[in-house]
Structure 1
Amino acid sequence: MKAPFLRRAVRAPGLFGIVAMACSFALGATDAAAADAGNFPNRGPIRLLVGFAAGGSSDTVARIMAPVLSKTLKQNVIIDNRPGAGGNIASDALIKAAPDGYTIMLGTIGSLAVNQHLSKLSYDPVTDMAPISLAVSFSNVLVVNANSKIHTFAEYLQAAKAPHSDMSFGSSGIGSSGHLAGEQLKFVAGLQNQHVAYRGGAPATNDLLGGTLASIFASPTDAIQFINAGKLRPIVTTGLQRLDVLPNVPTIAESGYPGFEANNWYAFTAPAQTPAPVIAALNQAIVATLKDPEVDAKLKKLGLDPAPSTPQEADRYIRAESDKWGGLIKKLNINL
């Protein structure tokens, strides 16, 4: 016969028994998670969040890469557009997702390095996300409707300097590189024109084509097909060097404002605490996809430079860009 305290111990484990059981379960869960991470990806699909509307630049990059990335990972990669708030809606969805690698994001300079300096967020993209790899980098192009009276940068500056100027400039959203390029130009050139934020480059381009918007600092992806079709007119680009796809379009830096640079970039991120083996597997697949000849050619045709990197390189770059643009936002007193 068992002693009464032993019978009670069997019926009710008590504090130390509960702690021991909890530790056992936790260790088992940790071991299972580690084993699952080592086998990643062993199920699907993988959800790729994009913070802007379908048809925009970041969406286009995602759709160029997704088929090859799916083949590389041997799991379907499903694009999930979450437009709004300059990419913050997608970012919020990412950090709330399970850190298991099955939800990742193609973030922009705005959502990863700028928005936290424009408004108070419930998260910090630098610390609450785990960088996987840089994706692409590129400069923007200032474009107007082909029927616009503006043909040169000098004419644009004259129109934008007028009191109550109607030479508005649109961008893919607040905090986007197009927005910051326009604000930076306003500061150095003393312009009076106003910014109009959109939920992605595609709707901004549609309004420009329709004549309800005067100009856009657009990504080459959004603008190049309409430039080639004669529907949009390029004025200047925002990088230090001319775009290969627009070799006859001057830069702002060579047009009277030496050193002017406002480049754009995208990067892949996962929720913080995503296991290192999962990040490594995703990085390997994304880098291989960016180096795929067909993907490389499609991106370059749109004026985008593939920028594969290690997670560590991506982390350093994002932090440096956050410091850079945070300082500029404070200096120019840019706010929502």
Structure 2
Amino acid sequence: MIPRHLRPAPGRAAILWGCRQGRTQGEGRMSIRVILSFCLLLAPFVAGAAEFNASRPVRIIVPVSPGGSADVMARIMAQVLAPMWGQQVVVESRTGAGGHLAGEMVARSPGDGHTILFGTIAIHGAYGMYQRLSYAPASDLAPIVLLVEVPYVVVAHPTRPFATLAALIAAARQRPGEITFGSAGNGTSTHMAGELFMLSAGVRLQHVPYRGSSQALNDLMANNIDIMFENLPTIPPVARDGRVRPLAVTSAARVPSLPEVPTAAEAGLPGYVTNAWFTLAAPGSTPPALLDALNRDVRAAMAEPATRQRLLDLGTMPRGLTVPEIRAYFAAETQTWNRVIAAANLKVD
């Protein structure tokens, strides 16, 4: 028997059934040649296709604490996927080890589509800094789709003496290793953005890892750390309230939600262009046909105008790639971050 989650879609089966019926019932109104031509035209799109038929609630495991941009985006996707799949889609937070506790949890789950990882650079791109992982992210996890890319914002506590990126770089050169930057944890995107900044600017900062960006941002606003390289979606509200001071965005162009904030290149650091990215991934044991079905569903959800607008309003850049495209994307990003890891001599036991 074909597993329920891999059965052909009823709608597609109905199309083929209709073609067969047309041969016997429609001959008086339409020639057999026309009917068969129509069915042959549809055949490549229906043959072998599978659907994800959820039989119980689906879990999206988020590797950072609630309240951050990753959590917000995961909940947006859960809201739109639930009616598509006819089941509740639950967002669960599992923090620790730079996201790898969540990654391993999903990797060890059944590959039936009911446990999905909200993936990050830490899990899919910068895992090379972890020396003793008990799973292999590249093979034990299977990418479903690239959801979005997100610029970072370099932000400082408003009491700090550096009001521009150039002033920050100058202060860091005068006080090597003294200026602190917080991140969501070792190897996370907000950590790697800081490491890339140090290499690009030729400065040394003190990294302070947290269990999620929301905790780091709270400590920044509480005046316990100096700066962050935070994902864009969470910054505009706290910047408008004066709780943080944006110094630059890391995208190639200015962003609509912070139009007055210069790019890093405009602010004196040309070449410092980098984005966070977020994915959905499944256990590595997931059958390829099911991965393709999940990919189609998520991309269809992302294409809905309301969903796309919500993602754009957060300041993200919706992507949506096929499974082979995202595998190639992962490979290229892993090479990039491996170079940063080697240059900065980053190691976590």
Q: Smaller-chain TM-score range? A: 0.7 to 0.9
2:265 corresponding residue in structure 1: 253
Residue identity opposite 1:82 in structure 2:
R
Q: CA deviation at 1:303?
A: 1.1
Give the match for residue 183 of structure 2. Answer: 171
2:159 counterpart of 1:190: no
Q: Which residue of 1 aligns with 2:255?
A: 243
TM-score by length of 1: 0.86
Structure 1 unaligned segments of length 5 or more: list them. Answer: 1-30
Q: Equivalents in 2 of 1:58, 1:166: separation in Å?
A: 29
Tell me, in whole angstroms, the C-alpha distance in 2 between the residues paired with 1:318 and 1:311. 11
State how 1:19-34 maps to structure 2 within 5 Å: 31-33=1-3
Distance 1:118 1:162, change over 3 A: farther
The alignment status of 1:293 with 2:305, answered yes or no, reads yes
Amino acid at match of 1:202: S
Aligned to 1:143: 155
Task: Give the corresponding residue for 2:192.
Answer: 180
**Cross-structure match for 2:6:** 37
Tell me the equivalent position of 1:71: 83
**Which residue in 2 is equivalent to 1:222?**
234
Query: Which residue in the other structure is 1:133 paired with?
Result: 145
Q: 67-76 or 284-293: which moved more? A: 284-293
For the 8 Å contact 1:145–1:209, the answer to whether it is kept is: yes
Correspondent of 2:59 among 31, 39, 47: 47
Q: Residue 331 of structure 1: CA displacement? A: 2.2
**Post-superposition shift, 1:47?**
0.8
**Given residue 40 of structure 1, which amino acid in structure 2 is its aligned partner?**
F
* Residue 32 of structure 1: how far off its partner (Å): 4.7
| AA matched with 1:75 | Q
How many correspondences in the alignment?
Answer: 305
* RMSD over aligned Cα atoms: 1.7
Q: 1:99-121: per-residue Cα shift (whole Å, max 9, x none)?
A: 11110111011111102334332
Greater alpha carbon shift after TM alignment, 43-52 vs 143-152: 143-152
Distance 1:239 1:302 in 2: 15
Q: Is the 8 A contact 2:54 2:113 kept in 1?
A: no
The 1-side partners of 2:240 and 2:221 are apart by 14
1:56 maps to 2:25: no
Q: Is the 8 A contact 1:141 1:220 kept in 2?
A: yes
| Superposition deviation, residue 164 in structure 1 | 5.2
Q: Deviations over 1:21-74 (max 9, x none)?
A: xxxxxxxxxx453x4422632411011110000111111110122111111111
SS for the counterpart of 1:131 is strand
Query: Deviations for 1:308-334, whole angstroms, at most 9, x for unmatched residues?
Result: 111111111111111111122112222
1:142 match: secondary structure? strand
Partner Cα distance (1:314, 1:127) in 2: 14
2:325 match? 313
DSSP 3-state at the match of 2:138: coil
Q: Which whole-Å CA distance do the structure 2 matches of 1:332 and 1:262 have between them?
A: 17
Q: Which amino acid aligns with 2:243?
A: K
The correspondence for 2:135, drawn from 117, 123, 127, is: 123
SS at match of 2:142: strand
Letter in 1 for 2:6: A
Q: Say which SS state the counterpart of residue 137 (structure 2) adopts.
A: coil
Provide the secondary structure at the position in 2 that maps to 1:53.
coil
Cα deviation, residue 169, structure 1:
0.8
Q: How many percent identity over aligned positions? A: 35
- Inter-partner Cα distance in structure 2 for 1:213 and 1:309: 37
Q: Is the 8 A contact 2:165 2:268 kept in 1?
A: no
Quote the Cα distance in structure 2 between the aligned partners of 1:183 and 1:32.
Answer: 48
1:158–1:36 CA distance, 2 compared to 1 (3 A):
closer
Q: Does 1:330 align with 2:337?
A: no
Q: Secondary structure at the match of 2:192?
A: helix
Q: TM (normalized to structure 2)?
A: 0.83
Q: 1:199 aligns with which of 205, 211, 227?
A: 211
Contact 1:134 1:314 in 2 (8 A): yes
Please name the residue that 2:93 is paired with.
81
5+ unaligned residues in a row in structure 2: which ranges? 8-50
Aligned-partner residue type, residue 211 of structure 1:
N
Amino acid at match of 2:312: K
